[in-house]
Amino acid sequence: MMAALLREWRLLAGAARIGLAVLALLAGVAVALGVAEVARTRADIARVVALEARETQAIIGFAKGDAGEFGYYRHHPVARAPGDLAFIAPARGDAVPAVLRIRILALEGQINDNEAANPELLLAGRFDFAFVTLYLAPLLLIALLHDLWSGEREAGRLAALQSLPQARQRLWSPRVAVRLGGVAVALLLPLAIGGAVEGAALPRLLLVAALVLASLLFWTLLALLVARTPAASSTQAAVLAGLWFTVTLVVPAAGHLAINAAVPLPDAAAIARENREEVHAGWDRPRADTMARFVALYPAYRDQAAMGTGFHWKWYFAFQHLGDQAVAADSAAREAGIARREALAQQLGWLLPPIKVAQALQGLAGSDVAADLAFRARVRAAHRALREYHYPFLFHDRPMTPADVAAAPQP
């Protein structure tokens, strides 16, 4: 068996070897870019956290222990720290921020903020390991496998080769194995190096490898099915390239159109305006009404609801929260709509294994829609925890000492 594989490797045309080398190089570049981007994202987050700490010190200087001033001025960075597999499909440069600074004012005006990214680069798409696996590796496989039989037929050798005893085991299987194995190694070697650099958990890294192999296996089977037909090698190549481009370009693009048409979302601009109207109406509404509505949600502060005619932070933050409450249903419907769109896309993925592999790779890298939604959920939880941390200070007029400032929940 080993001898047969070695023989097939020696027989592999120079162009095919160059193709494998170029694929390995591209996969290596993609992994290196991914590792660099992940490192930069971590550095971005670290810088923001450090700058925020300085900013908080400055606020301690002028807030004089007033919890309301802290609530108004102090921001809390919530980060999407890249995981151990982020390098295979990094989210850097995404419209979703890597770190979002929130404060305990109405969240609706904060949680939708986009990163100040260059949209032209986002439009182009990323050059990452997932891209090399999904787009480039199948093309090379098709080039290597489409004329497995037709190439020999056109060279006039097929009949002689087929008449060899056990041709399948001795000839064709090793031939396919060398080609598939070559492509697999070209992808998995850079992946392994990237995984080692990033200290990726071995089971997760093996899962990525399994996904890559599944995608390659899909294309190998498809290529062999077409190669089996009696058509000319160029027809086989055209059919396979057509299938590749249908699976990786046409169907996803058409699916995107159909899904967005099928699942409409509540208008973002209308929700933003409604939230603002509710928050600002708080200044004009009878204060007792605002406080009554707030303590209905937070009965623990029922005895602190009364207030005079002057400004009080507890009232201010109460109507901020009521502004969020007013659009909570619409906002949740929007997120549910986005989740529904992604669920439909995942279902489409089950029909087309390469799409499913791409989706799974993005999922493992933490750069898919689910990760964005999970981040939003985390931001909401952090906002809630921070609000509820500030409420006792605000409602009991307790000063916020530097120790209290430091003890605020870390998002």
Partner 1 sequence: MRVQRIAGAQLRLFVRSRLAVVALLLLLLLSAIAALTGAGQAARIASARATAQGAADAAFANQPDRHPHRMVHYGSYALRPLGPLAAFEPGVDAFAGSLIYLEGHRQNATTAAAARESSGLIRFGQLTPAFVLRVLVPLLLVFVGFAMIVAERQSGLLTLQLSHGASWRQLLAGKALALAAVAGVAALPALAALGLAAARAPAEAGVALVMAVAVLLWLGLWVLGITLVSARARSAQSALLALVLAWAVLVVLVPRAAAGVAALVHPLPTKAETDLVIHAELRSLGDSHNPDDPHFAAFKAALLKRHGVARVEDLPYNYRGALSAEGERLTSGLFARHAAEAAATQMQQHRLLAVAAVISPAIGFAQAGMAGAATDLASQLAFLEAAEAHRYRLVQSLNRLHTFEVRAADDAARNRDPIAERQSRVSAGFWAEQKPFAFAGPTAANRMTAMLPGLGVMALWGLGLLWLLRRSPVAP
Q: Scan residues 24-63 and list those touching partner 1 (CB under 8 A).
A: 26, 29, 33, 36-37, 40, 44, 47-48, 51-52, 54-55, 58, 62
Does residue 386 belong to the site contacting partner 1 (CB under 8 A)?
Answer: no
Among 261, 286, 306, 403, binds partner 1 (CB under 8 A): 261
Does residue 109 belong to the site contacting partner 1 (CB under 8 A)?
Answer: yes
Among 193, 265, 328, 336, binds partner 1 (CB under 8 A): 265
Does residue 115 belong to the site contacting partner 1 (CB under 8 A)?
Answer: yes
Does residue 374 belong to the site contacting partner 1 (CB under 8 A)?
Answer: no
CA distances from 318 to 81, 271, 365, 394, 404 (A): 32, 19, 39, 10, 21
Where does this chain touch partner 1 (CB under 8 A) — which range of 252-260, 288-296, 388-396, 397-405? 252-260
What's the closest the beta carbon of residue 170 comes to partner 1, in angstroms?
26
What's the closest the beta carbon of residue 219 comes to partner 1, in angstroms?
14
Does residue 136 belong to the site contacting partner 1 (CB under 8 A)?
Answer: yes
Distance CA(384)–CA(332), nearest Å, equals 15
To which H or E segment does residue 390 belong? helix 369-395
Does residue 65 belong to the site contacting partner 1 (CB under 8 A)?
Answer: no
**Bridge partners of 79?**
99
> 58 in helix, strand or coil?
helix
What's the closest the beta carbon of residue 400 comes to partner 1, in angstroms?
16
To which H or E segment does residue 79 belong? strand 76-79
Judged by CB, which is closer to partner 1: 4, or 45?
A: 45
Does residue 307 belong to the site contacting partner 1 (CB under 8 A)?
Answer: no
Judged by CB, which is closer to partner 1: 220, or 359?
A: 359
Does residue 276 belong to the site contacting partner 1 (CB under 8 A)?
Answer: yes
408: left (phi over 0), alpha (psi -120 to 50) or beta: beta
Among 149, 359, 387, 395, binds partner 1 (CB under 8 A): 359
Does residue 121 belong to the site contacting partner 1 (CB under 8 A)?
Answer: yes
CB atoms within 10 A of CB 291: 22
Rg (CA), the chain: 29
Compute the CA torsion angle 146, 151, 153, 154 (nearest 10 deg). Answer: 130
In Å, the largest CA–CA distance within the chain is 101
Name residues whose C-beta falls within 8 Å of residue 286's C-beta, 6 or more positions apart in sequence: none
Cα–Cα–Cα angle for 156, 162, 164, nearest 5°?
120
Binding mask 67-96 for partner 1 (x = CB under 8 A): ----------x--------------xx-xx
Where does this chain touch partner 1 (CB under 8 A) — which range of 200-208, 215-223, 226-234, 389-397? 226-234
Among 257, 292, 351, 377, binds partner 1 (CB under 8 A): 257
Place of tokens 């109507």: 319
Residue 246 C-alpha from the chain's centroid: 24
* Helical ranges in 132-250 per DSSP H: 137-145, 150-154, 158-162, 167, 173-198, 202-228, 233-245
Give residues 326-345 in contact with partner 1 (rule: CB under 8 A). 334, 337-338, 341-342, 344-345
Among 223, 369, 379, 386, binds partner 1 (CB under 8 A): 369
Does residue 228 belong to the site contacting partner 1 (CB under 8 A)?
Answer: no
What's the closest the beta carbon of residue 353 comes to partner 1, in angstroms?
15
Does residue 283 belong to the site contacting partner 1 (CB under 8 A)?
Answer: yes
Q: What letter does residue 101 receive in the DSSP assignment?
A: E
Does residue 122 belong to the site contacting partner 1 (CB under 8 A)?
Answer: yes
Go through the chain and tell me how many residues it has. 411
Name residues whose C-beta falls within 8 Å of residue 237's C-beta, 6 or more positions apart in sequence: 142, 143, 146, 147
Judged by CB, which is closer to partner 1: 168, or 285?
A: 285
Judged by CB, which is closer to partner 1: 4, or 272?
A: 272
Among 21, 169, 196, 277, binds partner 1 (CB under 8 A): 277
Does residue 173 belong to the site contacting partner 1 (CB under 8 A)?
Answer: no
Residue pair 31/193 in contact by the 8 Å Cβ criterion: yes
Q: By rule CB under 8 A, what count of residues binds partner 1?
A: 102
